[in-house]
Structure 1
């Protein structure tokens, strides 16, 4: 049985930049300048801004003609031609496809912000606490903006990828490989050595998902991959027309998906979690439980709604396999349980109630997930916990008061929590070839990292220093009790098959500080190890990252499923290199 921890009723609601934009309750900065945004628009989760913003804050030349709805945007490296109502766009004469089409609002042509940011290789980030949207300009583009403001661009040196003459000789990006990584979401990596425009869609009879890559070279077609996974049956690829490569995923059943761009090129596809049968019962302690079948626990958000009273649980990135259904329960205060596909990516479960109930914990038992319910409100449950809770451990016990630290050291007196993942009865992932336990790899790395941090003057608090089990709750409690400034959780990765390898860093996207820490750690670690850069990945479903009160990252230092990386990860010298890379990131 796996326990997934307390569900904080309200804190599961995800704040996004698009939601803030939709309510016009956000601030917008480009290159450190606050943008006076008269109007904005959100279409299918995409933020659209006036094209004039690019002229005013990014030194672009913008030519508009509202009557036919034509728009031309000229940067030093790119000429972009758009048409309102059309997702097709010309970039330096080459056709690409945008997620949404430009629109006219209040006499302005509104353009998709994400497309321009990705095209120019810039970084877009959102600080949810302050509702601030940032675009960070590259040094070269910032110099160009400054030079345009002064009226002299002759001294601006553009790198090759921004040099118009050099860019003409760089050629199209190359499709190198299609890698099935597996896992509960049947992840697939399309290895492309640069930015590629794409369009994706679902087809039926038979069920399949299609990705069309535009302006991409390859040496294909690749051989058909017979995957025979829970979701994906096989993967096929071929040239659709002169400019388009088509990749087809034959599916066992229709399901939605998400596509993520990797920082150095390439696309990663994640198909939905699959939800099957549901049921209800009371356990031996008379706790009401809702159970559901799934190939992995999905993230879900919760709302308790009045008039009529009902508990709504939205399971994100999920597909309901067997269609909508309703259970007649008749166990007060629960009357019925209804489940259906609310949107292509959200399965909604509704509990019709005669009195309040809230979910408090999730357990995995015999291959299914069980949500334990409390008969009462969240406030009543918190009061019950406080009444039953033992006296908390004082933080002073965890940090010696007589530590002597050289104040001149760079990390003097900074409190940092180092969290070695798993431990004791929880081995974590297991290596495919040597059978190495994740818990045995990450502990020496964590101890070495702590030693290096202490040499730099930091006060290091470990969640474990030996092979013992530590719950998610205790890891979070330790970090919060000592008022740590940084939380670093060390883990090793795994996927079905042996192809996936490299480093990735996970962070909670609700706070900008998490993103900055993740970027720094990922960059230094990849550089120290000369490893494959899998980038930083936002995650909102990890208990430790969701509940610590300081900047936090979870670092996947390599793949135990990859034979070479498994062998490297048990090498003490390589473990020291990992620790040094993590130190440099901090």
Structure 2
């Protein structure tokens, strides 16, 4: 018994010791070369204002002192760095301080005065990189330095400062410049967001103390309305206390590139939106020749393909031309010459836009070259060849149809819209999910003009320009690793199909009434039905409306009108209701053929296809496909039929959404996609 108890006690002690052993584990050890010898040192973590820093050479512990790359001081402590190779000296310079550190010397010169380094730990050459003592340099430059022993982490915090003013001035080219005034050096984090477009700048360890009270609105928020394109409005406030963070939000008209710099006295953050095009060269990139456009920052740009004569145009937005020569004199297999200009905006742009236009004049060839682009830092690189676009395939199935496939790295959500007036399809998804090349390819196809790929902010946008009116069906799932879109010449394809559209209720029968908007189901159903008819007619379908105005029609009269028309499909549009206002989503009702005396084909595939496409288009909650043999309009109609409940008007959120043009257009497009998909599969 004693032996058993002793064994149990030993096991308990063993397991109790496990976490202790992990807690006492030291930092990662790395091999470095110091004074010609390879030694193991401890790798140290660094936090700047609570944020971890990134460095290609890690900070290390050497002789019990933390050393960091001198480049770290430039990147994170806002100092200028220079190196004297003859004297083996690194100079760190700010507005107020000049620090000279000599490799392997415990002496340091601060503003001309020679002093001793604390603990006699000098600057060192480690792996041929200049490393300097973190605490000494940081404290000398005026930063607060700390140490977290549990995680082997050095901390550097800027002194707390006040944000005292925000103004808008003009930079070169009459583009706006924003100045954020502070009482001293501050750090910042910036992020660009879309939908709507805005630039957010967070300033940690700062208090929001605007001196000009006239620009402060209610609740202590600064609001500056401006007509300085592309800035719409500036908002700023004390975003949080403990930690103290000032947040500045710049609302923009569109995606725009930007530069953020500090003033020389470290008392201003300056944000400007102008790029300068400094040079254009032909260079070898990997195994290809590319035209390289040099910029001061990365601009947004548009690509156009123009003809007679054949040329490719690259418009760089928010840009000024700094080059002397307007003709570059570059010639390749496909390029005859390159021209540049400060382009005066036409109807494609806002009249206040600053645009540098780069024109590639092309040689006359039977094979039209494709353009792909690559962005490296602030350079835009253009490649012309006769290859296609990476991970994009556009296949001709027959004279009437094409298949577009876009390959992603993983399953993802995506957005597709088609503008019938411009005949332009846009597909959008996050860049992180795919590996595409920016560019444009001319298809020389009787149905399709070109495909263009652009990366805008965090997104890829694929534009497909058509020559004729088309319809399309999305064959991929709502979340998929390959986007598949089947495109059809709409005029030829559906002229033999008749779709019957039934707007539910009408006249003395209002249907469900929305508790918030007071909308009547009969009115919104008719609105949807008329939009559906218009859309189907544009695609080449024949249509029949059961009612085209606010009138009461008996259920059996509706059925009789549909059956006499000898139609191919019947769609009845309704909206749902429930006692529980939290219930929302889309439901589709149908009658199985075996429960109808007049139906000869299975109606479920039709209901299922419509239901799936409407869900995909609206991203609404799935309330399922239900058998409803007691519903007259789906039981007694001879053709395939489905009754669509396109949302719950008793759900406050969904009720408001149903009456919007955006939701209606999505739902109608889903119905159309379902109809097309159903007949394509037959």
TM-score when normalising by structure 1: 0.30
Using CA pairs under 8 Å that are at least 6 residues apart, name the structure with larger relative contact order, 1 or 2: 1
Q: Please state which structure has a larger fraction of its residues in strand.
A: 2
Q: Which of these two proteins has the greater Rg computed from alpha carbons?
A: 2
